[in-house]
Amino acid sequence: MKDLTEGKEGRLILNFALPMLFGNIFQQMYNVVDAIIIGKVLGKEALAAVGASFPLIFALISFVVGIAMGSTIIIAQYFGAKDMGRVKRTIDTLYIFMFFASIALTFIGIYTSKYIFQLIQLPEEVIPLAIDYFTIYSLGFVFFFGFQGTSAIMRGLGDSKTPVYFLVVSTLVNIALDLFFVLGLGWGIKGVAAATVIAQGGAFFSIVIYLNRYHSFLDFSPLKMRFDRELFRKSLKIGLPSGVQQTFVAVGFLALYRIVNMFGTPTIAAYSIAMRIDSFAVLPAMNFSAAISTFVGQNIGANKMHRINQGVKSTLLMMAMVSLTITAAAVLFAEPIIGLFTNDAEVIDIGKHYLYIVSPFYVVFASMFVMMGVLRGAGDTITSMVITIITLWIIRIPASYFLSVEIGSNGIWWGIPVAWVIGIMLSLTYYKTGRWKKKAVVKHQ
């Protein structure tokens, strides 16, 4: 466990974020290898099917993940206040909630997937493949939530390294199973999904065994867990806005996919590839956002508000340097990067234009995400939710639709940076008001 209330702010945040970044790079490497295998071996229809499945997966898991964020913030603040009894009870409550939520979402997802793919007007030749992939993938929700919940708990306690080790091994296993199931056994898109479920299950059970052996304080014993209604109520108070925010984002991505689907399978495939590249490009922003969220939570819990502003400045500076480097690489090597995933010239051309339009604004996205992390760490998840909904539903989706009518698929891509610019303006303005400081769970005189 790591105390983030003492020491140089920038160095603490960097050291906390780097292990998460390293682990997520491995995870995204799997996604890239996964997409390369699908695109090169199974074709653009299969690539489009997997790409279309992820917004639905995100829509199903997002609400629960948002609630888990609330628990993580509470864990960080109580840990900063050295109230270990409430830390343990919050952990037990989170595990119980996520288990039952994962079971419910599995049944809901399998039953509704066909109708949702039809609703977003996925091409007829892609729908059967998407259903096959999603049905098998959803069977692993319980493992996904188990591992992600455990990782989030450990981050709240200041340990960002341990989950990474298990994530790296899981990613390597996933890649190996991908190659075996698809190339060796010829299972096609079903093999891709099965590989993911097996790898996630292995990661979850392995980290539970490790924690029970080396961290008896966490004591993962399902029969001994107790559900604390009061702490769950506090988790809901903070996590519910995050859950609603994540759900609106997920449904927004489904709406965006409907706009993309209007332009046919090549554009869907290009967008699926672009999402993989974006996932890599925004990893630093997402991990440093998680790091500063824990940093803010612990320092608010310890009543050390003076450290937060310096932590924000250091994080924004680091993000600017990293984001500009990623932008330069994306612009200079756009065509060969897209070409890794497909040999289709039309798909490559569409994906190349996506990177030309979106990548110069990665620094804006990174800054916005850092500020959102500050608000979440303070417990001010309602403001984060409002800003996210405004940028996505009031700015991005309408802009993408109207611009696509005027200038084609490139118009969809232009809606993305427009929304990011509005988002950073709103989040910075609110941060400067200082109102977020009053939202903490742990109160000090």
- pTM tops 0.75, yes or no: no
Give the separation between CA 329 and CA 417, rounded to whole angstroms: 18
For residue 329, is it within any domain? yes
Quick one: CA dihedral 223, 228, 231, 232, positive or negative? positive
For residue 93, is it within any domain? yes
Residue type, 253: F
Q: Counting Cβ atoms within 10 Å, is residue 214 exposed (0-12), middle (13-18) or buried (19+)?
A: exposed
pLDDT of residue 80: 66
pLDDT in tens, 10-24: 777 887 777 777 777
For residue 1, is it within any domain? no
User: Which range marks the domain in which residue 116 is found?
Assistant: 9-439
pLDDT of residue 328: 92
Quick one: CA dihedral 183, 184, 190, 193, positive or negative? negative
Outline where 159-223 has alpha helix (H): 162-178, 189-214
For residue 356, is it within any domain? yes
For residue 46, is it within any domain? yes
Please list, in sequence order, all residues whose beta carbon lies within 8 angstroms of the beta carbon of residue 252, skipping any fewer than 6 positions away.
392, 393, 396, 397
Number of domains in the chain: 1
Give the separation between CA 14 and CA 125, rounded to whole angstroms: 46
21-48: burial string, b at 16+ Cβ within 10 Å, e else? bbbbbbbbbbbbebbbbbbeebbbbbbb
pLDDT of residue 364: 92
pLDDT of residue 239: 72
pLDDT of residue 60: 74
For residue 178, is it within any domain? yes
pLDDT of residue 431: 86
Which residues in the chain land under pLDDT 50?
444
For residue 104, is it within any domain? yes
pLDDT of residue 398: 92
pLDDT in tens, 43-94: 777 777 777 777 777 777 777 777 777 777 777 667 766 667 777 777 777 8
For residue 154, is it within any domain? yes
